Amino acid sequence: MINAIGLVEFVSIAKGIEAADAMLKQSRVELLDARPICPGKYIVLIWGEVSAVYNSVQAGNFIGKESVVDDFVIPNVHPSVIKAISSASDVRELDALGVVESFSIAALIVAADSAVKAGEVDLIEIRVGTGIGGKSFVTLTGDVGDVTASVNVGKETCAEKGMLVESVVIPSPHKDLTAHIL
C-alpha cells in the first residue's frame, strides 16, 4: 500500500535524470514515473514510507538546485490520486464536472489530493504536463455541492503557491462533452 508520494519537477531534463538517480539511491522508495514533460521539463514521482519519500525528495532538491521548479511530499495520499495520474479512474458517469488547472505539476497533484479529501467526489484524471505546455489539470465529478467545495479547496491550494491558472464547475455537462472527458 502506498503511504506517501513525492515529486520533484525540474526545468532541466539532464538534472532531472541525475536527481532521479540520487533520489532512488537515497532511500528505499519506488519510482512511479520519471520522464520529460512539456516544455522541456522533467518530473520524478516516487512512493514509499513517509520518511523515505521525504529524504529522497530532499536529495532530488539538493542535486537539482536551481533547476527545481516545485516539489511535494504527500503523506497518506488519497488512493484515487495514483489512479487519476495513471488515467486509470473507474469513473463511468459524470454528474457535475470540476476542473482545476495549474502552471505546476507538483502544485496540481497536491491540489487534487486536497480536493478529493474535501468532498465526496471522484477524480477522473490528473493530466501532467504532456502536450499542454507544462501545465496540469485535474477533472473530478460528484454532486454540485461537493464538486464546488472540492474545486474551491484545490483552487486555494494552487493559488497559495501562485500556480493557479483557472478553475471551473459545470453543473450538468453536455452528453457530447461527457464522452470526451471520460
What's residue 38's pLDDT? 83
Average pLDDT over residues 113-130: 90
C-alpha distances out from residue 147 to 55, 101, 135, Å: 34, 15, 21
Answer whether 50's CB lies under 8 Å from 4's CB: yes
User: Which segment of 35-39, 67-71, 121-125 scores lowest on mean pLDDT?
Assistant: 35-39
Say what the pTM is: 0.88
Q: What is the pLDDT of residue 181?
A: 81
Are the beta carbons of 61 and 23 closer than 8 angstroms? no
Asked if domains 4-75 and 79-181 share a fold, the reply is yes
Distance CA 42, CA 13 (A): 5
Write out pLDDT tens, residues 135-149.
899 999 999 999 999
Domain range 79-181, its CATH number among 3.30.70.1710, 3.40.50.1370, 3.90.1150.10, 3.10.129.10:
3.30.70.1710
Cα(6)–Cα(146) distance, integer angstroms: 27
Q: What is the pLDDT of residue 177?
A: 85
Indicate the domain borders of the chain: 4-75, 79-181
- Cβ count within 10 A of residue 63: 20
Q: What average pLDDT does the chain have?
A: 91
The whole-number pLDDT of residue 122 equals 92
Rounded to 5 degrees, φ, ψ at 33 are -165, 140
DSSP assignment of 36-60, as one string? EETTTEEEEEEEE-HHHHHHHHHHH
Q: CATH for 4-75?
A: 3.30.70.1710
pLDDT beyond 90 at 20: yes
